[in-house]
């Protein structure tokens, strides 16, 4: 995750009043215009923004505590018991302590988890306690602990986590950047204000107004009216948006809808949010491929749905034409095409293999699109209650917004293809995937030609994924991490030359269909590798997968391949080995070593087996078959 900076800022003619108690005066809305800003033009009602400015819209997009009938009905959900159980684990006075000494460890040691995990837990606790109070109506039990957490969050000097802060002495405490989690904090505080504000005021007079003003100032006004927003909030003004843009703007939209009393200002903010998300959507390919990887989909393409869904809620039907756009549908359905195995996704880049979509958005999206493949994702599954502290929002959606699901799942697609980016083959036996694209994708790993293989739903050959983030992950030393490098994937290393970072390093499919894949890797390596020609081919069937590499080099070099597997591997003979429930036959390539790596901190969250092979020919085959056949 990174904040992208931008060039010049243009001021619109939107004038606003000063914010009492703020450190800047709101005069004009700042913006940068981009080529894709008009991508949604003609797709929304002509009077959409005018209606908002006149107050003709639905602001009550979350059910208040006072609607006891609705909350009593929600109490019947399986998620209600899960939420209450978590709330009951929180002890009196157990508010996670956030110290500056922990905050600055990011700058001094590169550690972001120490502060960040406590920060998330504080917000998760608040969400559990607020929802438990609403579900049970038991103020005596939950209100004291809830207030401890609410007051603690309002007392924080910044809502920006250390990994996203500006580590310049004269900026650290004076600026309040609207990063991913400052924006999310604004949203969860806005939801709290809306559903429980009246009850909070009975305990602490006018605390709801303090929450309202603080959240608007720190999140909405800082983004759109701070003269220095281009420096601190680049996700808003960048011409090359990534997940930050829909993720932040989704949370700003919640904050503004629930807290902004000036409807003309709200209309202007919503116009800006729709504009920057139009630019974001315009940059996708028509097949909806998310180059940030499947783990970021929930905070990228799915948050674009979140933005549009909120606008749909405040003016029902207003987003229908956008939802009907083929590219928008493809963006939202991306994750359904990444399924592999029993409960995994084809992971690449900074992605985990576990399939953990945010069902509170995925399933309503499937309902709106009438997409069976999206709704089927929820069959037999139990959603997580939140991520990074957004538990009040996630929990609410699980209680109130899940549609009725199909009774069972279909067989699913045998073949999923994203042109020159990724191909996935599936069967009752083997399933396989092959990565193409370039080595400068967002959250990139140098992984061109990497193959993933499953047998009967279980992983055999995998992408290691990534470990939990530290400062190094987004530094100039990123590619010193073994799992980001070419040698951390299973495309060959020629001599001692592996794939490196750069947009010019590319791979494309010469063939991609249900029978197999042919990938051209002629330009996937630096010149020093000496690659003239290189193709990787997969012949595919349910009971046999053949991986075939053929290359021509400028000078003789061997090729080394590293396979990574969560399975036990053992040598059977000089030309074969057993990997889990499969047998690998070697032709033109030999086994060098098998060893078990240390347990990963994240990723597969287990010890992977590393299998190193070395070519004896410029044309070798690796044949996978079921063990015992």
Give the pLDDT confidence score for residue 1 in this predicted structure.
Answer: 36
Is a pLDDT exceeding 60 seen at residue 294? yes
pLDDT band at 166 (very low <50, low <70, confident <90, very high): confident
Burial of 475 by CB count in 10 Å (0-12 exposed, 13-18 middle, 19+ buried)?
exposed
Strands of 544-553's sheet in order across: 437-439, 502-513, 516-520, 531-541, 544-553, 619-626, 582-587, 576-579, 569-573
Q: What angle do CA 508, 510, 516 make, to 5 degrees?
A: 110
Q: Is 567 exposed, middle or buried (0-12, 13-18, 19+ CB in 10 A)?
A: middle
Helix axes 244-259, 207-215, angle to 10 degrees: 140
pLDDT digits (tens, 9 = 90+) for 478-535: 999 999 999 999 999 999 999 999 999 999 999 999 999 999 999 999 999 999 999 9
Distance of CA 360 to CAs 78, 336, 370, Å?
14, 15, 16
pLDDT class for 3, splitting at 50, 70, 90? very low
Give me the chain's average pLDDT, please.
93
Residue 286 pLDDT more than 90?
A: yes
How many C-alpha atoms does 381 have within 13 Å on its Cβ side?
Answer: 26
Query: What SS3 state is found at 416?
Result: strand
Cα–Cα distance for residue pair 461/371, rounded to 1 Å: 31
Please say whether the beta carbons of 444 and 546 come within 8 A.
no
pLDDT band, residue 553 (cuts 50/70/90): very high
Q: Is the pLDDT of residue 538 over 60?
A: yes
pLDDT bin (cut points 50, 70, 90) of residue 573 is very high
Q: What is the DSSP string of 485-513?
A: SGGGSSSPEETTB---SEEEEEEEEEEEE
> For residue 95, what pLDDT band results from cuts at 50, 70 and 90?
very high
Tokens 């070395």 sit on residue: 614
Supply the pLDDT for residue 16. Answer: 36
pLDDT over 80 (residue 14): no
Q: What is the pLDDT of residue 13?
A: 33
Rounded percentage of the chain residues whose pLDDT exceeds 90: 87
Question: Which residues, at least 6 apart from 479, have a Cβ–Cβ distance to it below 8 Å?
Answer: 446, 485, 500, 501
Residue 380: the pLDDT is: 87
Judged against a pLDDT cut of 90, whether residue 162 lies above it is answered with yes
Q: Rounded to 5 degrees, what angle do the CA atoms 199, 205, 208 make? A: 60
Q: Are residues 347 and 353 in contact, defined by beta-carbon separation less than 8 angstroms? A: yes
Q: How far apart are CA 90 and CA 83, in angstroms?
A: 11
Band (pLDDT 50/70/90 cuts) for residue 171 is low
CB 469 within 8 A of CB 110: no
| Residue position matching structure tokens 């939801």 | 191
Specify the DSSP class assigned to residue 428: S
**What is the Cα–Cα distance from 524 to 456, expressed in whole angstroms?**
31
**Residue 152 above 90 pLDDT?**
yes
Tokens coding 144: 């004291």
Listing DSSP states for 539-568 in one string gives EEETTEEEEEEEEEESS---EEEEEEESS-
Residue 416's nearest CA partner among 358, 334, 495 is: 334
Query: From CA 179, how far away is CA 585, in angstroms rounded?
Result: 50
Of the candidates 107, 103, 227, 209, the residue with the CA atom closest to the CA atom of residue 167: 107
As a whole number, mean pLDDT of residues 128-151 equals 98
For 206-225, give the DSSP string: THHHHHHHHHIIIIIIHHHT
Q: For the segment 429-440, what is each residue's pLDDT rounded down to a tens digit?
A: 999 999 999 999
Does residue 245 contact residue 212 with C-beta atoms inside 8 Å? Answer: no
pLDDT higher than 90, residue 128: yes
pLDDT-based confidence at 127, cuts 50/70/90? very high
Nearest to 366, CA basis, from 311, 414, 405: 405
Alpha carbons 18 and 12: distance in angstroms, whole number: 17
Q: Is the pLDDT of residue 2 over 60?
A: no
Please identify which residue in the block is written with the tokens 């703020």.
22
Q: In the predicted model, what is the mean pLDDT of residues 203-226?
A: 96
User: Which residues have C-beta within 8 Å of that of residue 294, sequence separation ≥ 6?
Assistant: 334, 335, 338, 345, 346, 347, 348, 351
Whole-structure pTM value: 0.94
Reference 605, options 464, 481, 477; nearest CA is 464
Lowest mean pLDDT among 16-25, 291-300, 490-499, 562-571: 16-25
- pLDDT reported for residue 229: 60
State yes or no: pLDDT of 626 exceeds 70: yes
Contacts of 321 (CB under 8 A, 6+ apart): 42, 43, 44
Q: Are 430 and 453 in contact, with CB atoms under 8 Å apart?
A: yes
> What CA–CA distance (Å, rounded) separates 520 from 509?
6
pLDDT, tens digit, 9 for 90 and up, residues 100-126: 999 999 999 999 999 999 999 999 999
Compute the chain's Rg from CA coordinates.
26
d(CA 168, CA 150): 29
Q: What is the mean pLDDT of residues 365-376?
A: 96
The domains found in the chain, sorted by start residue, are 284-412 (no CATH), 415-626 (2.70.98.70)
């Amino acid at each position: 995750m990174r904040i992208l900076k931008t060039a010049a800022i243009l001021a619109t003619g939107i004038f606003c009043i000063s914010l009492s108690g703020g450190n800047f005066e709101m005069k004009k809305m700042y913006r940068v215009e981009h080529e894709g800003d008009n991508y949604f033009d003609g797709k929304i009602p002509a009077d959409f923004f005018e209606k908002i400015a006149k107050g003709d819209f639905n602001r009550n997009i979350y059910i208040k505590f006072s609607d006891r009938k609705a909350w009593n009905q929600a109490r019947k959900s399986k998620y209600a018991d899960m939420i209450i159980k978590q709330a009951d684990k929180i002890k009196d006075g157990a508010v996670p302590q956030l110290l500056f000494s922990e905050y600055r460890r990011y700058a001094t040691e590169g550690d972001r988890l120490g502060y960040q995990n406590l920060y998330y837990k504080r917000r998760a606790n608040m969400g559990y306690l607020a929802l438990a109070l609403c579900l049970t109506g038991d103020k005596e039990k939950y209100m004291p602990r809830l207030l401890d957490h609410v007051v603690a969050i309002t007392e924080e000097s910044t809502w920006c986590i250390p990994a996203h802060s500006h580590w310049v002495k004269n900026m650290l405490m004076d600026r309040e950047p609207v990063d991913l989690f400052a924006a999310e904090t604004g949203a969860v505080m806005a939801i709290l204000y809306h559903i429980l504000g009246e009850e909070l005021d009975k305990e602490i007079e006018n605390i709801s107004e303090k929450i309202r003003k603080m959240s608007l100032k720190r999140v909405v006004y800082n983004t759109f009216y701070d003269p220095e927003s281009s420096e601190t909030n680049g996700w808003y003004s960048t011409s090359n948006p990534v997940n930050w843009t829909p993720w932040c703007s989704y949370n700003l939209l919640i904050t503004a809808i629930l807290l902004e009393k000036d409807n003309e200002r709200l209309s202007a903010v919503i116009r800006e949010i729709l504009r920057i998300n139009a630019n974001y959507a315009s940059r996708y390919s028509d097949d909806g491929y998310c180059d940030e990887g499947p783990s970021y989909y929930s905070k990228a393409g799915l948050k674009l749905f979140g933005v549009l869904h909120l606008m749909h809620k405040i003016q029902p039907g207003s987003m229908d034409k956008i939802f009907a756009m083929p590219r928008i549908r493809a963006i939202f359905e991306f994750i359904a095409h990444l399924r592999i195995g029993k409960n995994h996704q084809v992971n690449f880049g900074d992605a985990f293999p576990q399939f953990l979509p945010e069902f509170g958005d995925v399933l309503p999206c499937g309902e709106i699109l009438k997409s069976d493949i999206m709704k089927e994702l929820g069959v037999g599954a139990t959603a997580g209650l939140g991520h990074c502290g957004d538990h009040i929002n996630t929990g609410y959606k699980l209680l109130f917004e899940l549609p009725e699901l199909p009774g069972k799942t279909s067989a699913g697609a045998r073949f999923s293809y994203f042109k020159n980016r990724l191909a996935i083959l599936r069967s009752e036996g083997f399933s396989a995937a092959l990565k193409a694209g370039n080595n400068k994708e967002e959250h990139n790993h140098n992984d061109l030609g990497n193959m993933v293989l499953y047998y009967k739903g279980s992983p055999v050959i995998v992408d290691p994924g990534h470990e939990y983030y530290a400062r190094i992950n987004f530094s100039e030393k990123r590619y010193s991490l073994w799992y980001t490098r070419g040698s951390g994937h299973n495309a060959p290393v020629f001599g001692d030359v592996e794939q490196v970072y750069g947009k010019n390093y590319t791979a494309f499919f010469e063939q991609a269909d249900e029978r197999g894949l042919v990938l051209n890797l002629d330009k996937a390596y630096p010149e020093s590798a000496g690659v003239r020609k290189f193709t990787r081919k997969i012949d595919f069937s349910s009971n046999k997968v053949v991986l075939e590499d053929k290359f021509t080099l400028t000078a003789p070099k061997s090729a080394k391949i590293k396979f990574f597997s969560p399975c036990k591997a053992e040598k059977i003979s000089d030309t074969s080995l057993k990997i889990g429930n499969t047998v690998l036959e070697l032709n033109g390539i030999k086994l060098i070593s098998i060893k078990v790596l240390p347990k990963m901190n994240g990723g597969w969250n287990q010890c992977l087996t590393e299998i190193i092979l070395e070519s004896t020919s410029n044309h070798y085959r690796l044949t996978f078959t079921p063990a015992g056949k």
